[in-house]
Chains A and B, each alone.
Chain A
Amino acid sequence: MPSLGADMDEGTLVEWLTTVGAEVARGEVVAVVETAKSTIEVECFESGTVTELLVEPGTTVPVGTPLAVISPTAPVRPPPARGPVPAGDATATPLVRHQAAEEGVELAALHGSGRGGRITRSDVSRAAHPAPSRHPAPSRVHASPLARRLAESLGVDLSAVRGSGRHGAVKADDVRAAAGSRTGPDQAATVKEASVAAGARRAPKAAASDTGTSAAAAAAASASASTSTSDRAAIARLMSRAKREIPHYYLSTTIDLAAALEWMRRQNSTRPVGERLVPAALLLKAVASAAREVPELNGHWTDGRFVAAAGVRLGTAVSVRGGGLVAPALADADRMPLTDVMATLKDLVSRARHGRLRASETADPTLTVTNLGDQGVESVFGVIYPPQVAMVGLGRVTERPVAVAGMIALHPTVTATLSADHRASDGATGARFLTTLDRLLQHPEDL
């Protein structure tokens, strides 16, 4: 069961799209899974023959639970990197590759436990410093009652915790340790079992119910009924953890958008309707570029220290009609021409709302932007998504009086805010970020 978001801890297998004995190729859609938020088409992480389906449709299992066994068709398993990788998909981020090279770990020998089957930093660490005894995650976890309560309140998946108690029982301390360094369940050691967990696509709930078997559809329907509750519970856990662990500091500045929007208006007057820009595209491009210029805010807090990300993956909170929020990552917006940022944004938002997101697009944002401008508020101070270290908030574009050459004029403005993790950066760094954002938006032609 792949993890498709920091707040996902279990999923319901709705339908198998493959059978025992079937040949499957890496990247092929083999199952439909429902999470608290949406229905996802799960792609296969390995090529080979399906020898066993371990989970019945309608069953809800924790993230990290093997769903099926795939035996390699070839005697030697080809390195994942040589598989038919879908565009934009990657099994490891450059940062993880770098870590693997430093620690002398062969990435091809690892199973990714991250979203989309990505190999995470923890996977590499575990391979580099193996624990004395290691078991594949058992389907039923032995844990002390205190450990269970702690796991529940900290949002830790028990089946992903290595127990140090008798017979591998999970103790409270193990849960605390896992909560501190968690990026995914421990699957690195289960080399023989190729678990089906990799790239995945989100599909709207209703559509998946239509295509499911009757039992699966019933399961999906019952899951939908409890969605708002479990969704809230997942958000509650993640946000509680953020506020408990992250000492936030907050900065705010109001940015004059007259130059940017006038430039955009002139651009749009010459562009065909399909290539017109919206202010959000300029703002997101500027945020991504500012993140590149101030790398101290672009990355993750892992194992007690800040690790800067190699590239900018801008998590972009998108509200989904009918409630809910998904935050697909806009990759490398800082390096893309503005026209491409706009096209990518349209594509991502449209698919987030109509249900065609791939798992790789929800994976590992390095910095998140929340934009409540369309809801009409002037400013928003976000709660940081761990393990990220900052959250940018953009309010409504609104006309305000500004001083221009000693005169007062009405200009369109936006209030940009920054919530940042004081463990990773200081206020001066945050201020530099917002100042950079302001400067970039005064020169839209360079965006």
Chain B
Amino acid sequence: MNREEALETIRAVIEEAVPGADLSAVPSDENFRERLEMDSLDFLAFVEALSGRTGLALPEQDYPALATLDGCADYVAGHTGGAQSEPA
């Protein structure tokens, strides 16, 4: 999965976990969990769905890397063999 595909998947997964979320208003380097007021269950639903789509285990200690859209995209691309655009 390259970075662009990863980003697309991530956006779809967030919109699934948080129906009605306006992702266009969230800068890609900002903490979307805070911005979208996701609670711990929302975030877990996001992680679960992302894990399902990507096949990645997404262990809890890696959650900090998943805080922003950029971070998520780099992480997913990096762990699925896709090229990272830039070092995170």
**Residues of A in contact with B (beta carbons under 8 Å apart):** 265, 268-269, 273-274, 276, 278-280, 321-322, 345-346, 349-350, 353-354, 374
- 15 more A-B residue pairs beyond the given contacts A265-B60, A353-B19, with a C-beta to C-beta distance below 8 A: A269-B60, A269-B61, A273-B47, A273-B51, A276-B47, A276-B60, A278-B40, A278-B44, A280-B40, A321-B19, A322-B20, A346-B41, A349-B41, A374-B37, A374-B40
B26 CB–A CB distance under 8 Å = no
Chain B contacts for A276, CB-based, 8 A: 44, 47, 60
Chain A contacts for B19, CB-based, 8 A: 321, 353-354
B4 CB–A CB distance under 8 Å = no
Query: CA separation between A322 and B48, bound complex, in Å?
Result: 24
Looking across the interface, which residue of chain A has its beta carbon closest to that of B49?
Answer: A273
Chain B contacts for A354, CB-based, 8 A: 19
B23 CB–A CB distance under 8 Å = no
Query: How close is A349's CB to chain B, nearest CB, in angstroms?
Result: 5
B57 CB–A CB distance under 8 Å = yes
B1 CB–A CB distance under 8 Å = no
State whether A269 touches B41 (Cβ < 8 A).
Answer: no
Chain A contacts for B39, CB-based, 8 A: 374
Q: Which of B11-48 contact A (CB under 8 A)?
A: 18-20, 37, 39-41, 44-45, 47-48
Chain A contacts for B87, CB-based, 8 A: none
Q: Which of B34-80 contact A (CB under 8 A)?
A: 37, 39-41, 44-45, 47-48, 51, 57-61
State whether B58 touches A273 (Cβ < 8 A).
Answer: yes
Chain A contacts for B59, CB-based, 8 A: 268-269
A268 with B60, Cβ < 8 A, contacts A273-B47, A374-B39, A374-B40 known: yes
| CB-CB nearest 5 A-B residue pairs | A374-B39, A278-B40, A273-B51, A268-B60, A273-B48
Query: How close is A106's CB to chain B, nearest CB, in angstroms?
Result: 43
State whether A279 touches B40 (Cβ < 8 A).
Answer: yes
Chain A contacts for B20, CB-based, 8 A: 321-322
Query: CA separation between A278 and B40, bound complex, in Å?
Result: 7
Chain B contacts for A353, CB-based, 8 A: 19
Chain A contacts for B37, CB-based, 8 A: 374
Query: How close is A394's CB to chain B, nearest CB, in angstroms?
Result: 12
Task: Give the one of A321, A322, A354 with max B CB within 10 A.
Answer: A321
State whether A350 touches B45 (Cβ < 8 A).
Answer: yes
State whether B48 touches A280 (Cβ < 8 A).
Answer: no
Chain A contacts for B58, CB-based, 8 A: 273
Query: CA separation between A276 and B59, bound complex, in Å?
Result: 10
Could you list some 18 contacts between A and B, CB below 8 A?
A265-B60, A269-B61, A273-B48, A273-B51, A274-B48, A276-B44, A276-B47, A278-B41, A278-B44, A280-B41, A321-B18, A321-B20, A322-B20, A345-B41, A346-B44, A346-B45, A349-B41, A350-B41
Query: CA separation between A408 and B8, bound complex, in Å?
Result: 46
Looking across the interface, which residue of chain B has its beta carbon closest to that of A278?
Answer: B40
Query: CA separation between A322 and B47, bound complex, in Å?
Result: 23
Query: CA separation between A350 and B39, bound complex, in Å?
Result: 12
Query: CA separation between A353 and B17, bound complex, in Å?
Result: 11
Query: CA separation between A274 and B18, bound complex, in Å?
Result: 17
Chain A contacts for B45, CB-based, 8 A: 346, 350
Other-chain contact of B57, A273, A280, A322, A349 (Cβ < 8 Å) = A273
Looking across the interface, which residue of chain B has its beta carbon closest to that of A204?
Answer: B19
Task: Give the one of B20, B39, B59 with max A CB within 10 A.
Answer: B39
Query: CA separation between A280 and B48, bound complex, in Å?
Result: 17
Query: CA separation between A346 and B41, bound complex, in Å?
Result: 7
Query: How close is B37's CB to chain A, nearest CB, in angstroms?
Result: 8
Query: How close is B34's CB to chain A, nearest CB, in angstroms?
Result: 9
Query: How close is B31's CB to chain A, nearest CB, in angstroms?
Result: 13
Task: Give the one of B40, B41, B51, B61 with max A CB within 10 A.
Answer: B41
Looking across the interface, which residue of chain A has its beta carbon closest to that of B37?
Answer: A374
Query: CA separation between A188 and B40, bound complex, in Å?
Result: 44
Chain A contacts for B60, CB-based, 8 A: 265, 268-269, 276
Looking across the interface, which residue of chain A has its beta carbon closest to that of B47?
Answer: A273
